[in-house]
Amino acid sequence: MSVQDKGKDRKFRNGHKTGAGNGKSSSSGAAPRQGGPGAQGGRSPRNPKPQTAREVALNTLVKVAESGAYSNLQLNRALQDAGLSRQDAGLATELVYGTIQQQRLIDYRLAGLVAKGLDKLSPWVLQLLRLSAYQLLCLDRIPAHAAVNEAVQIAKKRGHSGISGMVNGVLRNMERRLQELRGPIEERNPVSRIGITYSYPDWLVERWIDAYGEAVTEAICASGNESPHASLRINRLRLAQDEALKRLSEAGYQANPSPLAPYGIILEGAGNFALTDSYAEGLWTLQDESSMLVAEVCAPMPGWRVLDCCAAPGGKSTHLAELMGDKGRVIANDVHPHKRQLIDEHARRLGLTAIETATGDAAELSGRFPEASFDLVLLDAPCSGFGVIRRKPEIKWTKSPEDVDSIAELQRRLISEAAKLVRPGGTLVYSTCTIEREENEAQIAAFLDGHPDFAADADWPETVLQPLREAGVVDGQFHGYAQLLPQHFGSDGFFIAKLKRQQ
């Protein structure tokens, strides 16, 4: 199956959990890294509104487009308010994420069917056509007549007969030409072909072709349109991986060990695992497999003094404490005071006492802590977030080249500040959830040029390196940093660099 076919062979996503988001805000996480919507259904709102799945999806798409709201947060609110069944919540989730993910391809096909042009349409009409066209073009399990009929009914309800007639005409025309419109994009320019086929902006495709080549870029774009799988990190202080797999199987989930992350488990099937009793008991944490590697690469020892500069919501801080046997001190810092409580809650739930939360700007940490006072400093830096597009597809349409330049400048200041706090012989780990060279490899190269007392450290745990070697992520010339792309393991795109301060 070609990557193009694979990207289009879509099924309803069972639970679109949130991830690392589009990076972190200055000094901390702007978006949550866990939880989020999903096809939960069954939640009973106090005043349910009689909406269909498509109406919920349409309202969410309109709000995301008009206000710039994060799709996962907006959808979560909409699902809780609507009180849809589990199946309808799954459909609404699929329509929201799929429509945003495939927006450029949908608009490309619609443009030839809407006589007056898409830019002349009212925002809600445009979104209605997009989500209906998404069902026709990209989904195989929804009958075309169901998608068209409900679109017409929504148009009558929200607009007037003229609008519903136009919607009906456009979608009936698309239905008649469906075989042709589902065919490959005939563009000779690779940037345009990949950009339209997988719905990415040309500037981003061009940037990735320059960095990775055409074939790898196509694989990146195809993988970014797939549904993310759910994964858990077992709290190794409370539960063995075998026991966790047994519990999950007995609860009816299909669970398998992660091929990437030690103590990681991949889950199949619907549900919000943050609502399970085992989660409340602190037996595991919801976390992407790539994100789990960061603390593993840090490899902290019991008794160490550790600083997590941009810690919210606390996934990596709690992982560090688990690896240390809850012995030592992990200072989990974040710029947002309200996120301090979130980290505290995670630590309590997991039974961890080694974590001390703090609030402050990561760009000013050396003014709050003595220089060279930490054995390990982790800077999980704010970034463009292009490694988590499958979780937050709107990132494709809201970020710009100028944003990458701006965030790279912030990263340069933060890593220099973090480096001051590492003791001689200590470790500095830098990570991002993006695949941008400027924010990753180039950032580390510039840092090492300006800080001769630091060197890249290739001494990573073998449990981390082995799967990376087998997947071709690293080779015999490994220098102490790695770029995971989303197609390597079906996990988030992530960059991790380990640096050591000379004695």
Active site residues: 433
315 is in an annotated binding site: yes
User: CA of 11: how far to CAs of 71, 228, 366, 402, 418, in Å?
Assistant: 19, 12, 49, 35, 43
SS3 sequence, 66-129? HHCCCHHHHHHHHHHHHCCCHHHHHHHHHHHHHHHHCHHHHHHHHHCCCCCCHHHCCHHHHHHH
219 is in an annotated binding site: no
Q: Residue 379 corresponds to which tokens in the numbers above?
A: 């800077």
298 is in an annotated binding site: no
313 is in an annotated binding site: yes
SS3 sequence, 286-331? ECCHHHHHHHHHHCCCCCCEEEECCCCCCHHHHHHHHHCCCCCEEE
Residues 6+ apart with CB under 8 A from 363: 26, 27, 410, 413, 414, 417
31 is in an annotated binding site: no
- How close are the terminal C-alpha atoms of the chain, in Å? 52
88 is in an annotated binding site: no
310 is in an annotated binding site: yes
- Please say whether the beta carbons of 232 and 264 come within 8 A: yes
What is the rounded CA–CA span in Å between residue 442 and residue 21? 22
User: CA of 378: how far to CAs of 152, 323, 343, 430, 435, in Å?
Assistant: 53, 14, 16, 6, 19
What one-letter code names the amino acid at 382? P
CA nearest neighbour of 310 among 259, 345, 361: 361
By three-state DSSP, how is residue 28 classified? strand
**How would DSSP label each residue in 448-459?**
HHH-TTEEE---
- Where is the binding site for S-adenosyl-L-methionine, in residues? 310-316, 334, 361, 380
Which residues make up each annotated binding site? 310-316, 334, 361, 380
